[in-house]
Amino acid sequence: MKVKNVTVHGLLYHIDCDLDISTSPLTFVYSPNGFGKTTLLKALVYSMKGDIEELEKLPFDRIDIGFTDDLVLIVEKREDVSIRIRKNEIEYPVDSEELKELFKITYISPDRQTVVKPDGCLTPAVNVYADELRDIIKSAVENNSLVVPKKECFTEMSDGDMVSLFRDLKARLDYIKGAGLEPDMPYSLRFPPTHSDISKKRREYAELAYGLEEYIERTYGLSESIVVSQDIMNKMFIGKTLLINENSNLIFRLDSGADLPLDALSSGERNILIILYRLLFQTPEGSTVVIDEPENSLHIGWQQKLGDIFLDIARLRNLQFIVATHSPQIIHDKWDMSRELRDLHAENPEAGRYCE
């Protein structure tokens, strides 16, 4: 379910605006400074999350969020915050738990370079995310055993079909190995097997196929995230290569052979690293992703590449991006995917291609 349009009444308590979302997976939102882009985005995010506490802090009167299945989420602020859903002309109240079941939303704020740890301390985000990723990869490396089926499986397949199945399994495993992960394979079975191997040990190979399919299902997404993030960063970053070492640590190796500490990355490099981590390792498939000012600390050349990166990741993970920006370089050649926020009651509603 994707966001189709957003209407806000009383944005900053004096602006009414209507935002039509692009039919593509990516929508850029721009407006003059002080218009209320960030407030609108936060109202969208906290409404879909049902975060009453945060909604109470925002200066707006009402927001209506329309979705592609004709469902409308309505948040109204009077004495209290009320959250309702309208579907087929019928309105009914919803609570936060129901909204968590309905919507998947990720918000990447402009203040993404630091995160607040449980003890309340501000910590560089790249260090926190590198530690998280190390633990995720380490767990995947250690939990590489193949499960044994509890009942008969693949017994109806012919030897030829099983040979084809194992070829497909090998191709997917080769991709996973590219991310540094691989299953604990039985030494007694040749892989991939021939017709003769399967006819001699059909039960063992049927169990192996089952175990490999289960392993691939639980590790493919992580492997894909690792491979895609390495591919993007190794194309963008100059003079350094992103690697995962034998201890599952994220490292950047300079062309000279020396390793570069994460703290030594430039602000722009850290920004890219943080955005990619949030998108590829923390955002569930099918989510709406709201990003505010992705251009922070980025060179013009990198800004111009972000739109295509977002579109590639959107197609890969079925994501919808709503991106607020002050930079025309971010929009670049995608003005058909851009939307200007304007006051519906302004005397001069002429649209202009500008970002401030």
**Are 29 and 38 within 8 A, CB to CB?**
no
User: What's the pLDDT tens digit per position in 87-101?
Assistant: 988 999 998 889 989
pLDDT value at residue 352: 41
Regarding predicted confidence, which is higher, 37 or 120?
Answer: 37
pTM score: 0.90
Please name which of 162, 178, 248 lies closest in space to residue 213, comparing C-alpha atoms.
Answer: 162
Instruction: Give whole-number Cα distances, 317 to 72, 85, 221, in Å.
Output: 24, 27, 10
The answer to whether the Cα torsion of 257, 263, 267, 268 is positive or negative is positive
Q: Is the pLDDT of residue 174 over 80?
A: yes
pLDDT value at residue 354: 42
Instruction: Outline where DSSP puts E strands in the chain.
Output: 3-11, 15-20, 26-30, 62-67, 72-77, 81-87, 90-93, 105-108, 114-116, 122-124, 240-244, 250-254, 259-260, 288-292, 320-324, 338-340
pLDDT value at residue 152: 73
Q: What percent of the chain has pLDDT over 90?
A: 78
Mean pLDDT of 272-279: 96
Portions of the chain given CATH number 3.40.50.300? 1-104+287-297+316-356
- Tell me the three state secondary structure of residue 130: helix
- The β-bridge partners of 76 are 62, 82
Please state which CATH number belongs to domain 1-104+287-297+316-356: 3.40.50.300
| H-only helix segments in 178-201 | 195-200
Model confidence at 112, in pLDDT bands (50, 70, 90)? very high
- The secondary structure of 5-22 as a DSSP string is EEEEEEETTTEEEEEEPP
Rounded to 5 degrees, φ, ψ at 193 are -80, 160
**Are 292 and 108 within 8 A, CB to CB?**
yes
Supply the mean pLDDT for the chain: 91
Instruction: Outline where DSSP puts E strands in 78-134.
Output: 81-87, 90-93, 105-108, 114-116, 122-124
Burial class (CB in 10 A: 0-12, 13-18, 19+), 261: exposed
User: What's the pLDDT tens digit per position in 29-64?
Assistant: 999 888 999 999 999 999 999 999 999 999 999 999
pLDDT value at residue 247: 85
**Are 237 and 176 within 8 A, CB to CB?**
no
Q: Is the pLDDT of residue 184 over 70?
A: yes
User: What's the pLDDT tens digit per position in 3-38?
Assistant: 999 999 999 989 999 999 999 999 999 998 889 999
